[in-house]
Amino acid sequence: MQTIEGDVIVTRNPCTHPGDVRILKAIKPNQRKIRKQFDHLCNIIVFSSKGNRPKADMMSGGDLDGDEFFVCWDDKLLSQSIQIVDPAIYDQNTLKVEKPDPKKCKDIADHFVFYLQRDVLGRTANLWLSICDQKG
């Protein structure tokens, strides 16, 4: 098992904004008071909880509910001059507190259509993969 140390390029899949790409510092679990409970973990990334905004949120608004990340530590890529763009600001979802009136099915139908019209992340990811496949 290899432990990665040093600069790494990290982005959340799918990467849809230039600001979704971050350069982070990978460290061994025994450095900087990182808990030993992480020693056995492999093929994962553990983000720091310090700072004003979580790193995962800076990458396509990630919320760590099963998100997949791309991590690259290739020196050929890291040695290039990489311009890091400010992350996009993603609106927080608001919880609708009023319940739809069961006598008005239109409320539920409107909510469902509203959701379907805005749930494009999966379609965007599939479109991006399709374009990449076509370009080789």
pLDDT digits (tens, 9 = 90+) for 84-130: 899 888 666 666 666 666 666 666 777 777 777 777 777 777 887 88
10 CB burial (10 A radius; 0-12, 13-18, 19+): buried
Residue 38, classed as helix, strand or coil, is: helix
**Domain residue spans in the chain?**
6-78, 105-135
pLDDT score recorded for residue 33 = 61
Residues 18-37, mean pLDDT to the nearest whole number: 77
DSSP for 70-119? EEE--HHHHTS--PPPPPPPPPPP----SPPPTT-HHHHHHHHHHHHHH-
Which positions ≥6 away from 1 have C-beta within 8 Å?
Answer: 42
Nearest to 11, CA basis, from 72, 52, 63, 64? 72
pLDDT score recorded for residue 92 = 65
At 63, the amino acid letter reads D
pLDDT score recorded for residue 47 = 83
Match 């040695």 to its residue by tokens: 79
Match 């992340």 to its residue by tokens: 121
How far apart, in whole angstroms, are the C-alpha atoms of residue 9 and residue 43? 15
How is residue 2 written in tokens?
């290899």
pLDDT score recorded for residue 31 = 60
pLDDT at 4 over 90: no
Which stretches of the chain are assigned E, i.e. beta strand? 6-13, 22-26, 68-72
pLDDT score recorded for residue 35 = 64
